Structure 1
Amino acid sequence: MKRFRGFTFRCEECDFDLDIECAQKSTYGSNVNKQIQHFSHGDPLILMEVIDEDKEVWCRACEKRCLNNAYSCDSCQFFLHKSCAELQQELCHPVHSHTLKLCPTVDDDAGLSCDFCGEIFHGFVYQCNECQFHLDVICAQLPSSETRGQKQTDHFGHRHPLTLRLRDDEDDSFKCRACDESIERCLGPVYGCEQCKYFLHESCAELPLEREHFYHEEHPLKLQVAKYHNCALCGNRIEGYTYRCEQCDFDLDVLCSEKSEEDRVFCSGCKKQCSGLTYACDTCKFYLDEACSELPREYEHFFHPLHKLTLQNSHLGVYCRACEKKCCGFTFSCRECKFHMDVVCAMKAEKVTRDPDCYIPHFSHGHPLKITDEEWNTKCLACSKQRLDSGLIYGCKKCGVWLHKTCAELPQKIDRHFFHKKCAGQLNLEVRPTLEPGLRKVKCWACHKECQGFLFRCEICPFKLDLACALMPSIIPEGTQTKHFTGHGHPLQLRQINEDATVRWCSVCENHCVDATYECSLCEFFVHASCTELAPIRHPFHPNHRFELRNKDRFTCEACLKESSGFTYDCHSCPFSLHVGCANLKPKIQFDAHEHYLCFFDSLYAKVKCNACRGEIVPCSGKKNKGEMEIKEVVRCVRCNYNRHLVCGPLPCTIKSEDHKHDIQLEDELHEDESGIYYCDACERKRNPEESVYRCTQARCPYVAHFDCMKSEVFLVPFIAQDLCNLLENVPFKPEAQNQMFYAIFVLN
């Protein structure tokens, strides 16, 4: 009589119980012969279903102990397992070419040697009378692959070799060390170590050491002995072997690892595979695991403190604000703010309640941050700096997000700041928004650098400060004259700089700083005291709007066409910028062929076409190509983008030529007829009708000459030199440039 846990067949009236195994034996026994006549014994054998545990009974066929279901002859003390009594009397076995016959060994102490395993055997054997070949009944029932010599295996789960053998009644009291199921669950042979009583079902011993599984597709699972692990599928404690992913801390017991994809059921709430207790509506194919069935209808979450979040089904195209992945299943949402979190991310906030010493909530990340000293390859989310020491940090391992402990404890509001005195709004700590391609970068209004990580933003105006500027203490010595300059956010200190000191350049006008200069010790920023007083201006280059001094990342000066960055006079109404130096230029040159005054430039920084000769004016940094003039000096109307080589104008409209009897006058272009083919009467070569020419003033005279062919005549005109002298007196330029320009003009031809 054994004590049993589990299901029983019971008669309440009689207080009678049968466990499942014994109940099945009773049913089974009704269909078998209670008495047989076996060839190995002269007396009839009677079937015994239950044998007294205190009585040792041994099977004469396999020499193993009988515990139940044995045929016996009590008078002779002859016993056979029921399975041994039903062995085939003739057998064709792959280890021998002849038919083997079952027979008992001679009843003596010598026994017979099994020709397969070499052991002495006293029970039944299969023998070949022709060859005197003997095979004991245990070896005869081994699988064919094992009978070829692979009777033992070295298994990772046990230190001794495991031997493959048939299961006997004694084994039924043991459990398989892999699946934790009874040995009798499988009818086939078992691998075992008799010394340690360590047994494995044959199928469990031959489990693959590594397998891909649909329930964990990220990484392969490796077979190992379980140590305090729970199965991710059924939720039970694993006793035996586990298929484990160390990287993800994921485990499957042996039985769950054998399940197919057709057995999968997914929770309608979190879209994960259901494990353990599951609520189901089979009609609708709706399933909820135990955790999702207990979700609250409303939830207060630290990542969205303005409103409570409501549990609802997600809609297409909704993304979780914590992990930034597409939501599937249930979400906690705020309809007013269009804020959504999937249930898995939202419920991670419970870690803060359960373990407040290890986890903190932080506004910058939707998952709680765990205090840790692990190494991280990424930068701090707040200050965008690497981890420089081995101190504690707060991090989310799943998302790869972490904060320095000091950054996690930053104040989230600043009431008043010395960089932000003109507005009454407080500064709130925010995470820098992720920039979409093509969007402008977020700039700090103090240092004008791109904000990396967290920033402080005014709740009223668009003012922004990066962490370094927002938390910067006032380090200016008492009594020092300071100035807050619009073009630089940090306070500036007034200093006197000597001529023999280290060369410093003004950040506004880009000239050498001497005497009174304002300096920012933090940024190596210098500016003339006079440049800090520059007021808004109006300029004849762009007379309709006012210019203000601004600091820009990139701009193109509309006067000299140079691309640059830094300070510029910028039109507040349209995209028109001027270098501070170019703002000093004034158009003073009057030319009859153009309505506006022209301005002289030493050179330009982009190619433009001369409106006189139609040739390109080479920029100061460009290389001369074939057909381009070497002279870079130009007179220019910035308003109209009207340009002329200095040698091409201002030029006399009418001149006398030694090659022609009439006066000739300057024309911007000339189409004489519709033929499309035109010639120069001076050099007798084809000419471009779009280029400037000199033509005869007489209506009936068809004389036309290239502009280039008349250059020598132009520069011989007496008043040209005087006009150029008057021109150059009013234009600021270097003295050496004047000599070069005169030389280039008067030796050209």
Structure 2
Amino acid sequence: MSTTVKTKEDGQIQHFTHKHPLQLVDLNKEQDEVFCSICQKLCSDVVYGCRKCNFFLHHSCMDIPRVINQHQFHSEHSLVLLTDPSYECQGCDKHCSGLAYTCGQCDFQLDVKCAFLPTADCEVAEWIQRFSHQHSLQLIDPNKEEDEVHCSICRKLCSDFIYGCKKCNFFLHHSCMDIPREINQHLFHPNHSLVLFTKSSYKCKGCDKDCSGLAYKCQACLFELDVECALLPAANCEGAKWIKHVYHHHPLELCDIEDGHEAHCWACRESSQGRHFVCHRCNFFLHQSCAIDLLPQTIQDHPFHPKHCLKIESYNEESFDCRACGKYDSYDSNVLGYCCVDCPDFKFHLDCSKLIPSIKYGSHRHLFTLFQKRGYPGSCLICKDNCESFFLRCVSCDITLHLQCHQLAPKTLKHKHLRHSLFLTKSPLDSDLEYYGHRGEYYCDFCELPRPAEDPVYYCKECDLSADIRCFISQVLLSVTVEEHSEVGEDKDDNFREGKSFTTDPKVVKFDEEIEELASELEHKELRRRKLKAQVEGLQSEIEELSNGSNELEWRIKGLERDRLSYFAYRTSRVQS
């Protein structure tokens, strides 16, 4: 026997749904039809009932729960089964009497039929309940309706059987009923969960439009998204016109950039036309290829900044100061970059993050990285001249060298189509000044592309040919990346011997000792910082766990208080009767 039923010595039972004891009734001996007071369906054979109150129960209906938690129509509070002489069911809007699932905190009541309607997961039923709407939904043939019917989720025309509430003009495709009730870590609002609510009016934070109806809402913030923005596909979804993307907090539209309208991609910073994903509100552009070719949202142990975590951030500033390549350009005001979580001033371009330090210089303790871009504002540590392009950088120590100033960079090069050698020479040449003047528009005689006027070139005096370093970059890199102790010629051996004598120089030894001492102190402080940070994070996690536990206990206490009050009302009514 169910715990909701108590059996008396005379065979009668006490059920919480009725104030009087119930006894077995043989309906075969009854003249009038008898209906179950819970499901309202016809009773047959033997049932439990109270003839005085005309109250009868199917055996199968006696296990009805006294309390329902998180009902689809009213998930905020628990619903308790009580008897009410007159009430309006919030599920079907009908005036009812008798048993009702009642919220003790709100003016909300459901009749038993609406409380136990099947869900959309069940087989096709005439009526269902769904958390996306506060009323019961009826199976409807839209082809028999006078007006066109549109789905309240996807806004598209409905043509096949659907579920809907005609009173609220709310309709759902079968495929749209599977939308989630809650979304965790949404790209537009990753810090808190978004829960589906019905609102009379709100402004969507995704598309900035005034909306009404269903909204995904953050309980902690004034943040709301319409369903369309909340459920946008990702960039790799074929044929998507609108997408959500990890690089931006608004929906992006796929557009063709017309001729004459220049756009800079925030990811690669290249200027181009063609197909882009665009946020018109923020003037945000993203190549279709850059949108799909995703870089990790966070990076640990990056060689440019190994001690801290880096994450992708969008910047809309007057300029962007990249700590990797050193570029500081005003047109980079709209850019995506990696930023250190602990050092906000340390940031660098996404494309710079792909570079790997691989070039050794002398006895320097870090490897250098080759940057093949123009516009570096600093000067070379060796020759003191400006570094216009093709430079080496130790990002950790903020040291920059010309590629050609590397001790192993070749001073002469051979070319298979030239009889003479090419010599590394300062620019501009006398012949350049003669031919080009002082306009600064110099060109490489090999690739015929513009080259920086101040950058050294490989020059053949006999043929009067000058070559930009980029045309011989593979040969130059092969020279500078050869290990210094390898036997590849007398020059390399001389460099190696010179390097060994350099490291034993007393002044250099003193530098190394001081560097090692400071590095050890830095490592000690960094370990201490990480330990303290871990303790803080642990305490925050414990605080959150305790807060969740307190909320759960508070909810359980409230539920017991409601049950206690319901039982008190029941006992009082028994005494009075």
Fold agreement, TM-score > 0.5: no
TM-score (norm 2): 0.34
**Higher gyration radius (CA):** 1
Higher share in helix: 2
| TM-score of the pair, normalised by structure 1 | 0.28
